[in-house]
Amino acid sequence: MDRAPWGTAVAPIPVAYRWDVTNGSNRDDASASATSASTRPGKGLLYLALGCFFVGIAAIVAIFFVHSLSEGAPGLTLYLLTLACPLGFVLAVVYALRSGRRSR
């Protein structure tokens, strides 16, 4: 056994409890290969959520610039683009719920 810097003995971690960083699970190879990439939610929903959220944020910032730099009101299109912000948030929550670990 190795010695830790503070003087206590360090016990090795059994193989069954080691975290496998190659596939993101702590299961053995048989059960890890049963989980295919097609059953997990893709990253497309996350990218869509982030895109919508940042388009909405950009539209909100643009509304403030239009109000401060011109005398006219922003167009309806700019106001409708701000709705992408909460839509992106909802899509991100859906992605988080779908990609979360399942309880046994």
Identify whether 4 is part of a domain: no
What's the whole-number average pLDDT of the chain? 78
Identify whether 3 is part of a domain: no
Count of CB atoms situated within 10 Å of the CB of 76: 8
Identify whether 1 is part of a domain: no
How would you class 66 by CB atoms within 10 Å of its CB: exposed for 0-12, middle for 13-18, buried for 19 or more? middle
pTM for the predicted model, two decimal places: 0.57
- pLDDT of 29 > 80? The answer is no
First to last CA, the chain: 35
* Domain containing residue 25: 9-99
What is the residue whose two structure tokens read 């929903």? 45
Identify whether 104 is part of a domain: no
Contacts of residue 4, Cβ cutoff 8 Å, sequence gap at least 6: 10
Confidence band for 22, pLDDT divided at 50, 70 and 90: low
Domain count, the chain: 1
- pLDDT of 26 > 60? The answer is no
